[in-house]
Amino acid sequence: MSDLLKMTATEARNSLLKKEISSVELLNAYQNAMEKTEALNNYVTTTLDAAKQMAVNADKAYAQGNAGSLAGLPIGVKDLFCTKNIETTACSAILKGFLPSYESTVTSNIWQSGGVMLGKLNCDEFAMGSSNETSIFGPAVNPWSKIDGIDLSSGGSSGGSASSVAAGSALMSLGTDTGGSIRQPAAFCGVVGLKPTYGRCSRWGIVAFASSLDQAGPFTRTVEDSALIFSVMAGHDPKDSTSASLGYTNFSEAVKSGIEGLRIGIPAEYNVDGMDIEISDLWKKGRAWLEQAGAKIVDINLPHTKYALPCYYIIAPAEASSNLARYDGIRYGKRIEAETLDAMYEATRADGFGEEVQRRILIGTYALSAGYYDAYYLKAQQVRRLIKEDFDEAFNDVDAILTPTTPTPAFPLGAEVSDPITMYLNDVFTVPANLAGLPGISVPAGFSNQGLPLGLQLLAPPFEEGRLFSVANAIEKQAEFLLAPARAAGDLQ
Amino acid sequence: MSVDKNVVKKISRLARIHVSEERSEMLSSDLGNILNWIEQLEEVNTDGVEPLSGVNEHLLAWRDDTVTDGEITDEVLKNAPEKAGEFFVVPKVIE
Amino acid sequence: MSILVSGRTGDWEIVIGMEVHAQVVSNSKLFSGSSAVFGASPNNHVSLVDAAMPGMLPVINGQCVKQAVLTGLGLNAKINKFSVFDRKNYFYADLPQGYQISQFKHPIVGEGEIQIELSDGSIHKVGIERLHLEQDAGKSLHDQHPSKSYIDLNRSGVALMEIVSKPEMHSAEQAAAYIKKLRSILRYLGTCDGNMEEGSLRADVNVSVRRPGDILGTRTETKNLNSVRFIMQAIEFEVQRQIELIEDGGEVIQETRLFDTSTGMTRTMRGKEDAHDYRYFPDPDLLPLTFDDAFIDKLKDGMPELPDEIKNRMVNEYGLSSYDANVLTEERETAVFYELASDGRDRKITANWMSVELFGALNKAGIELAQSPVKPKQLGGLVDLISDGSISGKIAKEVFSSMFETGKDAKVIVEERGLKQVSDESAIIYMIDEVLAANLDKVDEYRGGKEKLFGFFVGQVMKASKGQANPGMVNQLLKQKLDI
């Protein structure tokens, strides 16, 4: 049984094709793992009855020789994706009990390719947070060791998605990334997290946080697995006006291409104050690995990097303040009864939204309000252009950019939650890619002195995910990262 | 930028979020700190820079004018906290 | 076009601007595939997008873009090849997204103008500030329950064009002429059905008063007026209210007002005490709306003739009076009917018969032109009989009534009833001789200088012919006989 957990998605897929294992066996192993790791609080809803049916169907498909590329592979879904007739809450009290009558485009694609749905995964409320602590269900816990007896944060917002893959309670999972919500938890938990190019994956049916920044992406144990599932997630969707009209690409090929001669940029501005020495050491290692793999390292500048975070913390809350106006207690979700319509709105939203979500709605409302629009929102949009232009210019010279994913390893739960700005600083290396719409991937590449996983981030020009996979694969090969969290369901490697 | 309690009152009203007197105090300092931190953007010279609201480079695609949706009253109403017949129901609004 | 109103303390000038919301003629909604048709059961023409379910996204309906551009062309306006959809944020029970998708900084259509004609025949131009596309909201019903309002989202997301005039109207009459003309243009173009009762066309009216030559006064906005009469009443009431208020030492407050159709008065709108702060920003779910010159040119090529052009043709080529031309072009159906009826025959006579007899009969019967029992070709047939002298005008009226009742052709009726006009010269002379012989005393009086008796002889001859004698010939022949 535990051998099943050791398989990567690609390995499991090959074994399923060869009929060495069955989808039902694989599902049973993961069901067992889910039970064992319950304390990590990764799943907010499990869908094992549906999973069983899907696994049976997958086995039939393998028997008939028409199995999709994800057939039988157990997958968890961030609770931000609307799933038909399965409670979808965005981990917020305001959406408790909401049963969508529709399925998001990305999850539809996954199920159509035979993926087996394990359940809905914990995340920060409306994906607003970097530690999964804003979830109404309590935080998803990092499966790596505790520090001073305190549980570590899985990162956020897609904490449950990262933690479940790291703990072996999901073979792969789906998350979303608005400012680093896939890459930061991936780094904290020691798994591969991909944020695709803006417009690559449909946003239709995903609870919106900040529409111009949100992108869905996968968590996997290897780069190869990432390419496997991403090939299914990506694609044009006429229901999303911001979805790019590009045809199907099989990204698995790209993983294997060498990186000889590729030019990799190292941005000077990512050497920020307060970055842990172990992080900068890892960054240097990454640089050396890529050089050994035949890439050319180029020092570059991204002058406006410093302003990406404050820029993001205007744009994302501004869009969120509008996106979250629909949670008004009328058509779905929670309602606190009151005498007047306005009193009902105010009570419902005060009660239904958590502290951080309210804070961001208020900041966003402020930034868009009369008299402040130009100074905040417009200014942030201008800075956003400068940040994007920094990248445009850099990519004239280099093929990809290498940075750390986070300035620190995972921190104990409760350590940062009281100070919003400290929490926001977690996203300092990840936010620029969202503002510029670029694809980014975090690859587990080493450990902190305390034995916590650390990630390296790669960025590429728009729609060059294939190139990201090639370079990420080179890092993965040389890093020889050992995924062995103390609280995993079993041996994973 | 300091955010006084009147501003908190105004924006929480615009956002339809009830803020109690004691929370208002805390929020005004929280929001003030965040906005102060954000104000480092003022250092950036943005003269003549065109604002960027999205990164898409393709053109907006248009739909055909055909009826392809709707007539799903049950689905539309099924999650409503209060309904009467085929209507959503809210506290009475006086115009 | 300054018109002054006198108050207790002197003259006042009225300034009026109008924002008209016109529902775009389309099958489906602006950003969703549900039906835009009026009158479904509650919440039936509603998709998950219209109900603002989490994760739902807007996709624009190309037909609505075409309709907006076509309307812009009809208003002689600047078409913007680049425009942007913004979110207008506010909370209301029938606004499910918590924002309305509209266009704020970059509308699809820019400045244009409309020509209006007043009852004194004077022609004025009213500037158009802009036209933009936006979503309609749903409907709140307040009279179904003592303490609840009911929400129906069927209208939610239906495409509207908001057409904003410049503040260039100065009387209720001008405002009425403006909305009528705008409605007429929209209906000619087929971009809005103009049905004000159903709310397809409704106006928000901005009114202010000032001393002649002063800067603009503070304006009020009276919302959602859905008839020309209400627009005029609301303006007249607001003008009086504002003048009295200022003359009594008060001040006009900039506010939104509601019009009470039962009293003809406006009142402050309750429940909107908050200062509006709509926090417009570009909708990140959409991209800028763009198209090229070829797109505009194609629409231009397919544009129907508009009332102003048709009217000019009627006056300059057909020789109609400006008044008749106005009546015949107000509605597209009327103009089309007239063109068909008058084609190849006397345009003026046809115009006259249409605007007097046909409209009179339709009015009396309470039916629309489209349901007229007399079809265009049939009216033309009647005019032909008048023109070639087959029947007199008087007989023609009789024939027309019968046509209206039976739907038969004029010719058939004339033949059936033997109403054909007598144009046989010898027959008329015979009747004249009889009349003159019977009235020898009057003949003498006439010849003695009492010329007004001529009419008497004409009447007698017509009577003798049972109205069928050709009146022109009667006149001419009588003269010959009497003036020997």
Interchain CB distance below 8 Å, A349 and B18: yes
pLDDT-based confidence at residue C130 (cuts at 50, 70, 90) = very high
* C351-360: average pLDDT: 95
Q: Give the C-alpha separation, A430 to A414, whole Å.
A: 22
DSSP line for C162-185: EEEE-S-B-SHHHHHHHHHHHHHH
Given C267, C297, C327, which residue is the final one in a domain? Answer: C297
Domain containing residue B12:
5-43
Give the least confident one: A99-103, A317-321, A420-424. Answer: A420-424
Q: Give the C-alpha separation, A233 to A200, whole Å.
A: 9
- List Cβ neighbours of A222 (8 Å cut-off, separation of 6 or more): A8, A9, A10, A192, A476
Strand runs (DSSP E) across A242-295, as ranges?
Answer: 263-267
Report the domain count for chain B. Answer: 1
User: Quick check: A459 contacting B, CB < 8 Å?
Assistant: no
The CATH number given to whatever domain includes residue B19 is: 1.10.20
CB nearest C98 (choices: A203, A212, A328): A328
pLDDT in tens, C80-95: 999 999 999 999 999 9
Given C279, C297, C315, which residue is the final one in a domain? Answer: C297
* B11-31: average pLDDT: 94
First-to-final CA distance of chain C: 60
**Residues within 8 A of B (CB atoms), A 295-324 only:** 304, 306-307, 310-311, 313-314, 321
Residue A369: C-alpha distances to residues A81, A378, C76 (Å):
30, 11, 35
pLDDT in tens, A239-277: 999 999 998 899 999 999 999 999 999 999 999 987 889
Q: Provide, as residue numbers in chain C, all residues whose Cβ is less than 8 Å from the Cβ of B94.
A: 142, 270-271
Q: Is residue B38 part of a domain?
A: yes
Q: What is the mean pLDDT of chain A?
A: 97
b/e per residue B24-43 (b: at least 16 CB within 10 A): beebbebbbbbbebbeebee
Which of A214, A319, A357 to mutate to test binding with chain C, by most C CBs within 10 Å of its CB? Answer: A319
* A110-134: average pLDDT: 98
Report the domain count for chain C. Answer: 3
Interchain CB distance below 8 Å, B55 and A347: no
DSSP state of A86: B
Three-state secondary-structure class, residue C324 = helix
First-to-final CA distance of chain B: 37
Give the closest-approach CA distance of A19 to chain B in angstroms: 41
- Tell me which residues of A are annotated as active site: 78, 157, 181
- List Cβ neighbours of C390 (8 Å cut-off, separation of 6 or more): C384, C414, C420, C421
**Same domain flag for C260 and C311:** no
The answer to whether residue C370 scores a pLDDT higher than 80 is: yes
Which run of H or E residues covers position B76? helix B73-77
Domain containing residue C190:
4-297
Q: Give the C-alpha separation, A187 to A193, whole Å.
A: 8
**Same domain flag for C475 and C430:** yes
State residue C274's pLDDT score: 58
**Residues within 8 A of A (CB atoms), C 156-195 only:** none
The answer to whether residue C270 scores a pLDDT higher than 70 is: no
Interchain CB distance below 8 Å, C54 and A326: yes
State residue B90's pLDDT score: 97
Give the other-Cβ count within 10 Å of A44's Cβ: 22
State residue C271's pLDDT score: 52
Q: Give the C-alpha separation, C204 to C443, whole Å.
A: 70
Q: Is residue B24 part of a domain?
A: yes
**Same domain flag for C135 and C61:** yes
**Same domain flag for C29 and C75:** yes
Residue C113 or residue A149, greater confidence: C113
State residue C427's pLDDT score: 86
Q: Give the C-alpha separation, C120 to C116, whole Å.
A: 12
Give me B92's structure tokens.
Answer: 């009475």
Percent of chain B whose pLDDT exceeds 70: 98
Q: Which residue has the tokens 């009747």?
A: C431
Q: Provide, as residue numbers in chain A, all residues whose Cβ is less than 8 Å from the Cβ of B8.
A: 362
C-beta separation of C224 from C188 below 8 A: no
Omega before A157 within 30 of 0, i.e. cis: yes
Give, in degrees to the nearest 5, the angle at Cα A49 between A43 and A52. Answer: 105
CB nearest C149 (choices: B54, B69, B90): B90
pLDDT-based confidence at residue C423 (cuts at 50, 70, 90) = confident
The answer to whether residue A80 scores a pLDDT higher than 70 is: yes
Please, is A56 exposed, middle or buried when counting C-beta atoms within 10 Å of its C-beta (0-12, 13-18, 19+)?
middle
Give me A38's structure tokens.
Answer: 């319950």
Which residue type does A489 have?
A
Q: Give the C-alpha separation, C305 to C332, whole Å.
A: 10
Q: Give the C-alpha separation, A80 to C370, whole Å.
A: 55
Alpha-carbon torsion C435, C440, C446, C447, what sign? positive
The answer to whether residue C313 scores a pLDDT higher than 60 is: yes
**Residues within 8 A of B (CB atoms), A 169-188 only:** none
Residue A15 falls in which region: left (phi positive, over 0), alpha (psi -120 to 50) or beta: alpha
The answer to whether residue A468 scores a pLDDT higher than 50 is: yes
CB nearest A241 (choices: C53, C55, C285): C285
Give the other-Cβ count within 10 Å of C189's Cβ: 20
State residue B1's pLDDT score: 56
The answer to whether residue B19 scores a pLDDT higher than 80 is: yes
Find the closest chain A residue to C282 by CA distance: A319
pLDDT in tens, A145-170: 888 889 999 999 999 999 999 999 99
Give me C311's structure tokens.
Answer: 């009217």
**Same domain flag for C109 and C39:** yes
At residue C316, φ and ψ (nearest 5 deg) are: -80, -40
CB nearest C52 (choices: A242, A321, A326): A326
The answer to whether residue A175 scores a pLDDT higher than 70 is: yes
Interchain CB distance below 8 Å, C97 and A325: yes
**Same domain flag for C410 and C475:** no
At residue C282, φ and ψ (nearest 5 deg) are: -60, 130
Percent of chain C whose pLDDT exceeds 90: 83
**Same domain flag for C148 and C282:** yes
C-beta separation of A96 from A45 below 8 A: no
The CATH number given to whatever domain includes residue C447 is: 1.10.10.410
**Same domain flag for C432 and C340:** no
Give the closest-approach CA distance of C54 to chain A in angstroms: 5
Give, in degrees to the nearest 5, the angle at Cα C324 between C375 and C75. Answer: 95
**Same domain flag for C220 and C71:** yes
Which of B47, B52, B69, B86 to mutate to test binding with chain A, by most A CBs within 10 Å of its CB? Answer: B52
Instruction: Name the CA radius of gyration of chain C, rounded.
Output: 30
Give me C48's structure tokens.
Answer: 């998950």
CB nearest C43 (choices: B86, B92, B93): B86
State residue C26's pLDDT score: 98
Give the least confident one: A361-375, C297-311, C426-440. Answer: C426-440
Percent of chain C whose pLDDT exceeds 70: 98
* A55-62: average pLDDT: 98
Given C417, C436, C458, which residue is the final one in a domain? Answer: C417
Q: Is residue B56 part of a domain?
A: no
Residue C125 falls in which region: left (phi positive, over 0), alpha (psi -120 to 50) or beta: beta
At residue A323, φ and ψ (nearest 5 deg) are: -60, -30
Give, in degrees to the nearest 5, the angle at Cα A56 between A55 and A62. Answer: 85
* A413-439: average pLDDT: 92
Greatest distance between any 2 Cα atoms in chain C: 100
Please, is C315 exposed, middle or buried when counting C-beta atoms within 10 Å of its C-beta (0-12, 13-18, 19+)?
middle
The answer to whether residue C470 scores a pLDDT higher than 90 is: no
User: Quick check: C285 contacting A, CB < 8 Å?
Assistant: yes
Q: Which domains does chain A have, with CATH numbers?
A: 2-264+397-479 (3.90.1300.10)
Q: Is residue B14 part of a domain?
A: yes
pLDDT-based confidence at residue C425 (cuts at 50, 70, 90) = confident
The answer to whether residue C215 scores a pLDDT higher than 50 is: yes
Q: Give the C-alpha separation, C98 to A208, whole Å.
A: 14
- List Cβ neighbours of C379 (8 Å cut-off, separation of 6 or more): C341, C350, C353, C354, C358
Interchain CB distance below 8 Å, C60 and A241: yes
User: Quick check: A350 contacting B, CB < 8 Å?
Assistant: yes
- List Cβ neighbours of A303 (8 Å cut-off, separation of 6 or more): A269, A390
State residue A1's pLDDT score: 45
* C316-333: average pLDDT: 92
The answer to whether residue B67 scores a pLDDT higher than 90 is: yes
The answer to whether residue A417 scores a pLDDT higher than 80 is: no
- List Cβ neighbours of A181 (8 Å cut-off, separation of 6 or more): A123, A124, A127, A130, A156, A157, A158, A175
Give, in degrees to the nearest 5, the angle at Cα A180 between A177 and A183. Answer: 90
The answer to whether residue B24 scores a pLDDT higher than 60 is: yes
Which of B34, B64, B66 to mutate to test binding with chain A, by most A CBs within 10 Å of its CB? Answer: B34
Give the other-Cβ count within 10 Å of C300's Cβ: 13
C-beta separation of A416 from A423 below 8 A: yes
Which run of H or E residues covers position A33? helix A23-36
The answer to whether residue A227 scores a pLDDT higher than 70 is: yes
C-alpha closest to that of C235 among C262, C206, C215, C278: C206
State residue C275's pLDDT score: 61
The answer to whether residue C393 scores a pLDDT higher than 90 is: no
C-beta separation of B69 from C33 below 8 A: yes
Q: Give the C-alpha separation, A106 to A201, whole Å.
A: 7
Give the closest-approach CA distance of B16 to chain A in angstroms: 5
